A and B are shown apart, each in its own frame.
Chain A
């Protein structure tokens, strides 16, 4: 079963506007972490933001924020004031503590974001 679901294969956003990239997850482990990574066309994966399952507040890192709704099992990434350099593939990922000691991270299929000038 899919543990991480990103339902938007591609998204367009106008420069300077905000955009939300959706991510839902499935786990029965009470202790888990959620990550967002950015992959530009050059290929490298860049860590953006982290949210722990026990964190009380939504994570923020500069223009990135994570809209964490635990009961709905969603962890959407919000990018404010989009820039042309935000055009990239974005991956949502989850790490469970579980019986693998927190080593395994599961990735979604990704959302390709296009920022229009």
Chain B
């Protein structure tokens, strides 16, 4: 079974802090993703990566950056946390799409509160 592990289930930080959310997958997946989930908005893609050191902006990249130095690890960075970044953050991984079939495998999520 694919295991996607996010470093924290709950995190509380202060406005202006630099925040790191870590995600590790153990199935040698090429692709990794960061989403945020807000009520009524579903999941929105922040960034994704299809290879080591490669990254692509998703739909809402502002205020975030990512790092993928190793295939199994994808980090989300909030450069200067703000209260509107309080949300649930979900990491996912998948094999390279052959067509559209590969599902994404998700971590348990990190509920981040910015005070």
Name A residues whose Cβ lies closer than 8 Å to a Cβ of B.
4, 9, 31-33, 35, 37, 42-47, 50, 52-53, 91, 93, 95-97, 100-110
Extra A-B contacts (20), CB below 8 Å, given A102-B100, A107-B43: A4-B42, A35-B103, A42-B108, A43-B9, A43-B111, A45-B92, A45-B106, A46-B106, A50-B101, A52-B100, A95-B97, A97-B97, A103-B50, A104-B45, A105-B45, A107-B35, A107-B42, A107-B44, A109-B41, A109-B42
B43 touches which of A91, A97, A100 (Cβ 8 Å) = A91
B31 is an interface residue with CB less than 8 A from chain A: yes
Chain B: how many interface residues by the 8 Å CB criterion? 29
**Residues in B whose Cβ lies below 8 Å from that of A53:** 100
Q: Is the interface of B mostly helix, strand, loop or mixed?
A: strand
Tell me if A50 and B42 are in contact (CB < 8 A): no
**Residues in A whose Cβ lies below 8 Å from that of B90:** 45
**Residues in A whose Cβ lies below 8 Å from that of B107:** 44
Name B residues whose Cβ lies closer than 8 Å to a Cβ of A.
9, 31, 33, 35, 40-45, 48, 50, 56, 58, 88, 90, 92, 97, 99-101, 103-109, 111
CA distance A33 to B97 in the complex (A): 11
Q: Known contacts being A44-B107, A50-B103, is A101 close to B43, with CB within 8 Å? A: no
